[in-house]
Amino acid sequence: MNKIVSLLAAAAMLTIVSCGNNQNKANSSFENIKVAKTVKAADVDAFTIDVPTGWTRKLDDIKVGKQLFLMAPVSDGFQPNLNVLQEDMQGRDLDAYVEYNLKHMGPVDVQTIDQSDIEVNGIKGKLLKFKMNYQNRDMVIGSYIIPGKNGIAFVVTTTALVSQYPALAATFDKTVHSFKLK
């Protein structure tokens, strides 16, 4: 299963499980954290990303390695979040990787609302924005795809309710643009 679909499903699951998690609060305006290399691709570079003030962080082992979650305080019964996952691009360049994932989204009912080129600390990537409804809640999901070394993509996904997104857009963008490969 492709990772954009997996990340959209993960975003939907966060609707259910992310409320009220206050572990690992950041103590400063932004706290630089280091994330271990994935279990599956031990030769992949690690990265750093800044954590916004008041957000929590959690590093989970998942089927494909480790996934970092950054979670905003709960608002309107939902916890906006950002997560980072490493994905094997399976020999595809960035454009082919994005095209492949868009063609294979399967049963996930999403509407693509924007696709654009981005640059994060000198690395050219892509931003895909989606709208989806999950449990009668309209959400905006952004998938920032940042190519790394050795055919690995870092997929940074942001999730917020449509009503929350305007207030969080700058924070999401600043946090994603703090992403740096080690």
In angstroms, the CA 49 to CA 175 distance is 7
Domain that holds residue 70: 3-181
Would you state the pLDDT for residue 33?
A: 46
- Can you give the pTM of this predicted structure? 0.76
Phi, psi for residue 24 in degrees, rounded to 5: 60, 45
* DSSP-assigned letter for residue 68: E
Number of domains into which the chain is organized: 1
- Per residue in 6-15, pLDDT tens? 444 444 333 3
CATH number, domain at 103?
A: 3.40.1000.10
Mean pLDDT, all residues of the chain:
76
What is the mean pLDDT of each successive set of 10 residues along the chain, which is 182 residues long? 46 35 34 37 60 85 70 94 90 93 72 88 94 90 92 93 95 93 82
Residue spans of beta strands (DSSP E) within 14-80: 30-35, 47-52, 56-62, 65-71
